[in-house]
Structure formats: C-alpha cells, structure tokens
Chain A
Amino acid sequence: MHADPAEVKKSVRSYITVFVMLMVFTVITVAAASFHFAVPLAITIALVIATMKGSMVAGVFMHLSHEKQLIYGALLLTFMFFVMLLFLPVLAYMDRVKY
C-alpha cells in the first residue's frame, strides 16, 4: 500500500468531525420542521441544510475536495443536466391548458 500514515490519520480526524457535523445538522433539520414555518421558508431551510450536508459527504467522504479535473468536468456536465431536469416541471406548468 502506498499511503502516508500521517496523512491518512489526518483524514480520519476530518471524517469524525464531518460525522459530528452531519449529526448536528440532522437534529437542526428535524427541530426546524417542528416550528411549522410557512411552506416556502420551510422548504428553503430544509434544502439549504440538506445541500450543506450533501456537500460535506461529497467533499470529505467522497474526496471531491481534492479530485482530478476530469471528474470535476464530468460532474459539472451532470449538474447542468440535473438542473435542467429539475426545471422540466416549470415547462410543464407553462404548457398547461388554460380554460
């Protein structure tokens, strides 16, 4: 195996830190939902926290914070098409039959 033990041990510390942060954010998500905010605000809060949690998983656990250019390129392309997919309902809404 070719890995610097000191470097790996440093990574392990960051995994534990992220684990604790993910737990805290999960508690915050559930607590925020119990306040019964207005739907647009509740959706914004929940999705912002989920995005932060997702970024931590992708950046640290999946090592995306230091990955090769080719993977960033492939993911950028994926993200663009993902956003287009999420906007398809808007097109469907605009295309609805008016009575």
Chain B
Amino acid sequence: MEIPYIVEARPDTGLHNGKLGIWLFLASEVMLFGALFSTYILLRVGAPEWPHGELSVPLGTVNTIILIASSVTMVMAWASLKLNDWGKHRLYLGLTFVLALVFLINKYFEYSEHFGKGEGPWHSTFFAIYFTLTGLHGLHIVGGMIVMAYFLGPGAKLWKKNPDQFANRIEATGLYWHFVDLVWIFLFPVLYLL
C-alpha cells in the first residue's frame, strides 16, 4: 500500500505529511529545551552567586562556528538535490557529518578537562545545568549524525527510485539540524559568556 502525501502536498494543509510531522516534532523540542532554559533561569536567579569564566570561550566559539558552518553545508546538500547535482549533495552531506563529528570531539575534550578537575555535574549548580543542557544538545547532535549516516549509506538508494521523496527527507533532516544549531546559538552566550 502506498503512503499518501509523502511527495505531493495535502490539499487541506498545503504541505506534505513529512514536513508537517517534522515541524510538530520541533515544536515539542522547543518545549523540551524551553523547560530546561526555564530551569536555568530559576537556578541562576535563586543562586547567591553565579560563577563566571568556568568554561573555555575559545573552544565554545570554535564550536559555534563549526555548527553554523554545518548548517550551511546541510542547506547546500538540500539545494544541490534541487539542482540535480548528486555529487555535490554527497559532498555537502558528508561535510555536515564531519563538522558534527568535530563538534563532538571538541566537546569530548571540554568534558574531559572538567571531569579531570573534578568538575562534574555534582560539583555545583552551574555545572549541573551546564552538563544537562549541553549533554542533551550533544545527544541531539548524535541523533542527527545517525540520520545523516543513513542517508549517506543505505538510505541513498531512494534517490534513484524516488528523487522527490529523497529530497523531502533531506529537507526534514535539515530542519532538524538547523534547530540543533539554533539551540546552540542560545546555549553559547547563556553558558559561556554571561
């Protein structure tokens, strides 16, 4: 049985179902991170003092640049499909995957340094919310990488069978990835700079 409205738009919504689905999922993600940002505000306002300079700003800045660059390569991967350029699509999607990996490697070094100094989540309220927020964000990066790996590997076969459906899947992956970037855009100043 063929699943309806995975390529063409539904007449009532004007959207294909996958796109509506990913946006509703992202709405739930806004609430998930929103609850944690709210927790951060509550903890910070209630704390007698809040630490400054605990995190490496250069490393945080580099990771911000990496994630922004990965957002560009992701949207270029989708645009390349729209231009029927399969080779460039593979290049940009591969680059996005590599940038995500570099982000995680940086995060690994950052975490290792803190754990080495005994600054785990148990150390202070600041580190508790820092590890909760960046840990959850890191899990989202891993999730995105799994999806990208699928489309670089076995999922790529769909392009030959149904290019429009494949492009829609890459668009949905991109929407998720840009959201992960967007969350980091707020996490970076909140945790590293303020």
A residues neighboring B (CB under 8 Å):
1-3, 5, 8-9, 11-12, 15-16, 18-19, 22-23, 26, 29-30, 33, 39, 42-43, 46-47, 49-50, 53-54, 57-58, 61-62, 68-71, 74-75, 77-79, 81-82, 85-86, 88-89, 92-93
With an 8 A cutoff between CB atoms, is B83 at the interface? yes
B6-50 interface mask toward A, CB cutoff 8 Å, 1 = contact, 0 = none? 000000011100011001100100110011011001100110000
| Inter-subunit contact B31/A57 (CB<8 Å) | no
Which residues of A lie under 8 Å from residue B82 when comparing CB positions? 1, 3, 5, 8
In the assembled complex, 8 residue pairs joining A and B whose CB atoms fall closer than 8 Å, in A order, are A1-B84, A1-B164, A30-B61, A54-B186, A57-B178, A70-B13, A71-B20, A82-B30
The chain B residue with its CB closest to the CB of A18 is: B72
Q: Report the minimal beta-carbon distance from B145 to chain A, rounded to whole angstroms.
A: 18
Contact B182 A19 (CB under 8 A): no
B42 touches A88 (CB 8 A): yes
Shortest CB-to-CB span from B74 to chain A, Å, is 8
Instruction: Give the Cβ gap from A75 to chain B, nearest Cβ, in Å.
Output: 7
B134 to chain A, nearest CB (A): 16
* B contact set with A: CB distance below 8 Å: 13-15, 19-20, 23-24, 27, 30-31, 34-35, 37-38, 41-42, 45-46, 57, 61, 64-65, 68-69, 71-72, 74-76, 79, 81-84, 163-164, 167, 174-175, 178-179, 181-182, 185-186, 188-190, 193-194
The reply to whether A26 and B64 form a contact with Cβ atoms under 8 Å apart is yes
Q: How far is the CA of A38 from the CA of B75 in the complex (A)?
A: 38
- In the complex the two chains form, what is the Cα distance from A86 to B30 in whole Å? 12
Does A61 contact B75, Cβ atoms closer than 8 Å?
yes
Interchain CA distance A70-B24 in the complex, whole Å: 11
